[in-house]
Each structure stands twice: as C-alpha cells, then as structure tokens.
Amino acid sequence: MARTAVLIAFSVGILLSCLQVYWDYLQEGDELSRSVEEIMLVHSKSSSRVVMILDPELAEEMVEGLVIYPFIREARIIDENNEILASYRDVSTDQELSKNSTTLRIARSFVTDMITFSRDLEVENTFSDKPGRLEVVVDKALGMQPFFSRVMTIFLSGFIRNFLLVGLLYFVFYASLTKPLSQMVGQVSLIDPEQPGERRIPIAENHREDEIGILAQSLNNAFDKSQAMLDNMRATNKALASSEDTLRKRTWELEKEVQNGRKITMELIATKEEAEKANRAKSAFLANVSHELRTPLNAIIGFSSIMSDEMFGPIGNDRYKSYLNDIKDSSEHLGALLGEVLDLAKIEAGQMQMEPEDFAFTDLLNESVSLMSGQAASKSLKLTSKIPNDLPLLHGDRLRIKQSVINILSNAIKFTPESGKVHLEAHIREDGGCSVYVEDTGIGIPSEEHEDIFTPFMRASGALSRSHEGTGLGLAIVASFVNEHEGTIELDSEMGEGTKITINFPAERSISSS
C-alpha cells in the first residue's frame, strides 16, 4: 500500500512537471516569434531604402547581417516584381550544428519545423503599394535550444529531487505504516479461530496513541467479543442439546399420552353416543308418557268441571264440592307440567315444528297481559304494561312467542311477594328490531346462578323459590323458542332487588305494517 501511494505521488509529480514544461514550451514559441518580428522590424527600414535605390551589393550585406542570428537560416529581400533582390543562406548542416550540442539533438527529436516569416517593406513617395518584402526562414529547434537546455536541467534536478523525496516518503511509510501493519497481519494470522480471545495483538509504545494502536486495540476488543460470543454459543448449543433430549423425552411421553387420550376420546365418544341415545329414548318416553297421561287427565279435568258445575244435579255435601275444586286445580296444574315436559321432549328430540306467520305483536302482548291479570290480582300484585300501538308486525310462530311471554309473566307473578309489582314494556330498537321485557320486584336471582337459569330443571335458590311449585322448565323452553327465532334473551337480577328478563327479536323478524 505504501509503495503504491509513493508511486502515485511520484507519478503525479512527473505529470505536473510535464504540464509545466508544455506550458513553457508554448510560451517559448511565442517569445521566439516576437523576437523574429522585432528583428525584421529593425531591418525593414534599411531594406526599404535598398529596395528604393535597387543596390544589390548593399542588399547582400543586409541579408548577411540577418543570418548572424543563429536561429535564422536564410534571409532574402524581394522587390515589387516578386524577384529576389538579394538572398543569403547558412549552409551549415544539422550534423555540423549538432556535433557538439546534445541539447540540439534532443530539440531536433521534438521540433523539426522551418518557419518562414515575411514583412512588407514601406517606401515613401512611390507609386507601388507593396514595393517589396523581407523574408527570413527560422529554424525553430535552434531558436528553442536554450529552452530545451533549461528543460533538461529542470528535469534532471526534478527527477533527482523527486527520487530522493520518494525514497524518503517510502522509508517513512514503511517505518510508520507498512512495517507495523505487516507485523499486525502476522499476529492476526496466528490467532486460533476457535479461541480468538486467548491471544493478544501487542501494541508498540510508539503506536499506543496513533491509529495503529487504536486499530490493534479495536482488533483485540473484537476478538474478546468474538470469544464471548463463541462461549455463549457453545453454552447455548449445550443447553439446546439438553433441551432437545428433554423435548424428545417429552414428545415420547406426549405421544403416549395422546395414544391414551385417543383411547379415552373413543370411550367418551361411545359414552356420548350412548348418552345421546338414552336421552333420545328418554325424550321419546317423556313425549309418549306425557301424551298418554294427558288423555285421562283431560277426562279428570272434564268430569270434575261437570261435577263442580252441578250439571246433572246438586252435590249433597259441600265438602265434596271443595274436593272437586281441588281435583280440578291439581289436574290443570299437572296438565301444565305435562305440557312443559312434552314441549321440552319435542325440543330435545328435534320434533318441535314452528309455524311462522305474520301477526300483530301489539295484540299478542295485550292478550298475554290480559290473560295473566287474574293471576296477578289473586296475589294482590300490580300488573302494568307499556305497549306502543305502532309496533311492527312480527314474523314467527305466534303460539310459541305468546307462550314465551306468558311463561315469563307467570314466573314474575309466581316469585313476587304479595303487593309487589310486575311491569311489561315493549319498544322498537334503533336497528328496527323489537324488544320486550318483564320486570318485577320479586326475590331476585343470585348472580352465580345467572348462567344456569335457562338450563332445564334449574330453579333459583332461596326459601321463597323452594316454596313455589314448578319443574324449572319454563325459562328453558322460553330460551329455546327465542333461539328458534334467531333472538336473544337477557337476564338482569340480584337477590332482593327483583328480576328483569328481556327478549330481543332480530330486525329481520319485523315487518312494516305499511
């Protein structure tokens, strides 16, 4: 690198010297031309007189006087008729001139031009515009011989100076840069790639504060970091190998667990299928039993009604009449329970058939409130409602939706103490769907039971709840009917704060009455 830098510096110096010589060469050529013009100007007056008097001898002396200049090889005076009045030529040959002049031989190798200079003569009181002219032939090599002498001196001294300077620079570069870098390269080549931090690059005292010392210290730091990275990588690889062993062991254990899990899954699937089969059988049994029980139950209800109404004559004992009323009430309650069981059985068996139609939702809600008003009055409850007349028509199974509203009202009345309040309200949501909610001041439902309240056979806890009859199927059936209509059901309740149940029907179920 140092050798290259020195050679570049040397070459740049030579190039600049050549440019300077070329510039001086151009200047020297211009100076030669000016000198010749001045010589011709001086001799032109004398030449003009010679032409005027036409004296050949004087003309010869004059042209001989011009050739005394070493670079003028030939001179001649030409009259107005373009005839040579006088001419003189230096007959010395190039060999004779160059015999004892090395500089001229060098000049001849660069310059071979013979330049002719001409100047018109001026003569007063003559009829001719151009009475004659003076011509000289200049040997440019002879004229620029002093220049080439200077160039040779400059080049020789410059070459010696540059050579000495280059040698000095090379020595300085070698001592301060090349040698320490070569030593550093040798030290780096001795470093073990597997253990780069075990060997240090020595730093000479005279290089501790310069770039060589900084480079050596940077390399030592880099090798230390590489050593640390290699150590970490080896530790990581060791930990990775251990982890791979653990992973293989754990994978084998998991495969074994998966095989066991598959076996358990197959057993669970079989158990699930058996349970579903048993559930279907149970549902079918409940449906059949409910259906079979309803026939004699309807007969009991009918006959007890006939006897209670004394259709075929009076009953002799009032106690029998009281018993008949008890039989009728119990039969109707049992019929309602059987109806719920039958509905649930159909739902679970997938046999519940919906019969959708377009109906007035407002009328359905008013009918439901009117139907439950008697039950509310029997408990001294205040049953109120807020049902807008502009509710849209609803598309769905009218009987099942009405049954859902009545079930919710019935639950509210059942679990609300006497003198309490039950309120039903409906409205149109912003998305165009209809919502209806029933709110009571009853016993409420604990928050931990909210998720299970719509599960079949689940009832709210509490003494008041347990004091009321029921199967726990009402809300489960309501949730199923609402789900069949793509709706949602919401529960908001706390113990002792009452209960609010909301049914939301999707906007797709609403039909504009217009």
Tokens of 109: 């190798």
Q: Is 436 helix (H, G, I), strand (E, B) or coil?
A: strand
Annotated domain spans of the chain: 2-164, 354-511
What distance, in Å, lies between the first and last C-alpha atoms of the chain? 97
pLDDT at residue 193, rounded to an integer: 72
- Using the 8-state DSSP alphabet, how is residue 461 labeled? -
pLDDT at residue 504, rounded to an integer: 95
Instruction: Say how many C-beta atoms besides its own lie within 10 A of residue 339's C-beta.
Output: 15
Please report the beta strands in 235-356, taking only residues with DSSP state E, as ranges in sequence order.
Answer: none
Cα 134 to Cα 45: distance, rounded to the nearest angstrom: 10
Domain 2-164 has CATH 3.40.50: no
* pTM exceeds 0.75: no
Tokens of 314: 């009076």
Q: Along the 514 residues of the chain, how does pLDDT read in single tens digits?
A: 556 665 676 677 677 767 766 676 667 667 767 777 777 776 666 666 666 666 667 767 777 767 777 777 777 877 677 777 777 777 664 444 544 466 666 666 566 667 777 777 776 655 555 677 777 777 766 666 666 667 777 777 777 877 787 778 777 777 666 777 777 777 677 777 777 766 777 777 666 667 777 777 777 777 778 778 878 888 888 888 888 888 888 888 888 888 888 888 888 888 877 777 766 666 666 566 655 665 676 666 666 667 666 666 676 666 666 666 667 656 655 655 556 665 656 666 665 677 899 999 999 999 999 999 988 998 999 999 999 999 999 999 998 899 899 989 988 998 899 889 999 999 999 999 999 999 999 888 888 887 767 766 555 544 444 445 544 566 888 888 888 899 999 999 888 889 999 999 999 999 875 5
pLDDT at residue 227, rounded to an integer: 75
Task: Please check whether residue 476 is in contact with residue 456, taking contact to mean a CB–CB distance below 8 angstroms.
Answer: yes
Tokens of 413: 């009345």
Cα 102 to Cα 484: distance, rounded to the nearest angstrom: 124
pLDDT at residue 113, rounded to an integer: 65
Give the phi and the psi of residue 436 in degrees, each rounded to 5: -140, 135
pLDDT at residue 341, rounded to an integer: 61
Looking at domain 354-511, its CATH superfamily turns out to be Histidine kinase-like ATPase, C-terminal domain (3.30.565.10)
Question: Where is 282: in which H helix or E strand?
Answer: helix 211-308
- Using the 8-state DSSP alphabet, how is residue 391 labeled? P
Cα 373 to Cα 365: distance, rounded to the nearest angstrom: 12
pLDDT at residue 413, rounded to an integer: 92
Question: Where is 30: in which H helix or E strand?
Answer: helix 2-53
Tokens of 20: 């300077």
> Which residues lie below 8 Å from residue 298, measured CB to CB, with a gap of 6+?
335
pLDDT at residue 6, rounded to an integer: 57
Cα 484 to Cα 158: distance, rounded to the nearest angstrom: 110
Give me the sheet containing 393-396, strands edge to edge.
Answer: 357-360, 393-396, 510-511
The whole-angstrom distance between residue 26's C-alpha and the CA centroid of its chain comes to 66
